[in-house]
Amino acid sequence: MWFDNEEAMKDLQNAFDEKGVHEVKAIVVKDLCKGVVSRAVIRWLKSRFTGVPWFISTKEWKPDWALQELKGEHVQLLLIPQVTAGCYRRRVSAQIW
């Protein structure tokens, strides 16, 4: 299910309510850069579960949704795989020439 519009976010809310999930101890995000993790999902999680630590793993070098939406949140871990970092470094080096 893609969570990129208001209708889909209502479906996400209903799924949590049906399971009785009203409180969490942490939020773990695993972003494989396939378009599933979006600003809408991050905003929803942020508004629904406040004051909890975030643990994030992403294959994107500078994920907009993390850098902009999670300012001021308790991000305990932002893991970017070595391969992603290496690709970014090579791209930047190539732009210098």
pLDDT in tens, 41-71: 888 889 888 899 999 998 887 777 887 888 8
Which pTM does this prediction carry?
0.71
Is residue 85 one of the residues assigned to a domain? yes
Residue 97: what pLDDT? 46
pLDDT per residue as tens digits for the range 63-87: 778 878 888 888 998 888 777 666 6
Q: Which domain holds residue 28?
A: 8-17+24-96
Is residue 70 one of the residues assigned to a domain? yes
Choose between 56 and 5: higher pLDDT: 56
Is residue 2 one of the residues assigned to a domain? no
User: Could you tell me the two tokens for 10?
Assistant: 């209502």
Is residue 48 one of the residues assigned to a domain? yes
Is residue 1 one of the residues assigned to a domain? no
Is residue 91 one of the residues assigned to a domain? yes
Is residue 3 one of the residues assigned to a domain? no
The gap from C-alpha 13 to its chain's centroid, in whole angstroms, comes to 17
Number of domains in the chain: 1
